[in-house]
A = this chain, B = another copy of it.
């Protein structure tokens, strides 16, 4: 209910997923009457169970407000359905901060995890077409042990979600040697390096912002503040270039003709740089999987988020991730 486009977009997205994946069923959380009407219109009644929830967490609610009004919201109800085992995974287009807080409070952190993270997929020149970056959750601070845990969780995600047997992990930093200076980054680099063999990943060391979409790494580890800035800067750049591209092809009669000729190629390009196609941040480190879709998600985006959720459930990765984190507990974990 909390997405920018309301429940109609969600039901439209579900409709696409349902026709592509005959085996999955959906539990929709929100005002029963409204959802029922939408579901009937799409002829999805036999695939969808509706759980009535009259309240909504809004985009401008602070996470603490969302927690206070908590029960009775569609977001709470969706998380609850994962908590009690009715659902295998929750997908939400709502307020990210609220979703993270509610998920953490209700699902609780995995044993040994101090700070859960949000991992996103980033289009790249990798064979798999995307890299994983975490954390992008805008959290204020990550110390060296948090960054080590992000490396472990990111490696597990890449291995189980994308079949990369021995993922390459990089730690995001700035370029100039002299300034590789934040103490927690140097310490984190040592810690991650020491754990690479045991956790079956390859540590490639520090990487820079321009390496994020490259084939040099599979997983980029950073704190939530820096990750959020990098992600949004890249999104802004992609949007700027899309605008320039549109202008360029509307510029003259010849270029419009060219657009017609190049239609399928342009469409393929557009799909590759379209953030809706790789929609879905995954919360790592909780007892249960939560996929965060963009707030402005449309049917295409929702379907992409559901697809990711399905992949994760089928690979049973959250159990494997839990085992991985538990196997390597940094020395001062319990401080």
Given contacts A138-B174, A234-B233, A265-B249, contact A125 B209 (CB under 8 A): no
A272-B258 CB under 8 A given contacts A178-B64, A230-B229, A236-B210 = no
Residues of B within 8 A of A252 (CB): 264-265
Q: Within 8 Å of chain B (Cβ to Cβ): is A245?
A: yes
- Chain B residues with CB below 8 A from A230, complex form: 209, 229-230, 233
Residues on B with C-beta less than 8 A from A269 are 244-245, 247-248
Mask, A135-167, CB within 8 Å of B = 1, is 000111000000000000000000000000000
A225 near B182 with CB under 8 A, answer yes
A245 to B242, CA, bound (A): 11
A232 and B248: CB pair below 8 A?
no
Chain A: residues with Cβ within 8 Å of the partner, total of 69
Among listed A74-82, A211-219, A307-315, interface-contacting one: A211-219
| A279 part of interface (Cβ distance < 8 Å) | no
Contact for A238 among B123, B174, B241, CB less than 8 A: B241
Does A208 reach chain B (CB closer than 8 Å)? yes
**Smallest distance from the beta carbon of A61 to chain B beta carbons, Å?**
9
- Decide yes or no whether A268 CB sits under 8 A from chain B: yes
Within 8 A of B (CB), among A227-276: 228-241, 243-245, 247-249, 251-252, 254-255, 257-262, 264-266, 268-269, 272-273
Q: Are A140 and B244 in contact (CB under 8 A)?
A: no
Contacts of A181 in B (CB 8 A): 140
Which of B209, B255, B266 is the one whose CB lies under 8 Å from A231? Answer: B209
Which chain A residues numbered 158 to 199 have a C-beta less than 8 Å away from chain B?
172, 174-179, 181-182
A97 CB–B CB distance under 8 Å: yes
Q: Is the interface of A mostly helix, strand, loop or mixed?
A: helix
Copies of the chain in the assembly: 2
Q: Determine if B172 and A229 form an interchain contact, defined as CB atoms under 8 angstroms apart.
A: yes
Shortest distance between the CB of A220 and any CB in chain B (Å): 10
* Cα-based distance from A139 to B214 in the complex (angstroms): 25
Q: Which of A97, A233, A257 has the most CB of B within 10 A?
A: A233
Closest B residue to A234 by beta carbon equals B237
Q: Residue on B with the closest CB to A249?
A: B265
Q: Which residues of B contact A96 (CB under 8 A)?
A: 176
How many whole Å from A189's CB to the nearest CB in chain B?
15
The yes or no answer to A104 lying at the interface (CB within 8 A) is: no
* Closest partner residue, chain B, to A242 (CB atom): B241
Q: Which B residues are CB-close (under 8 A) to A259?
A: 258, 262
Q: Name 6 interchain pairs, CB-CB below 8 A, sorted by A.
A: A95-B176, A97-B177, A210-B235, A226-B226, A233-B234, A237-B238
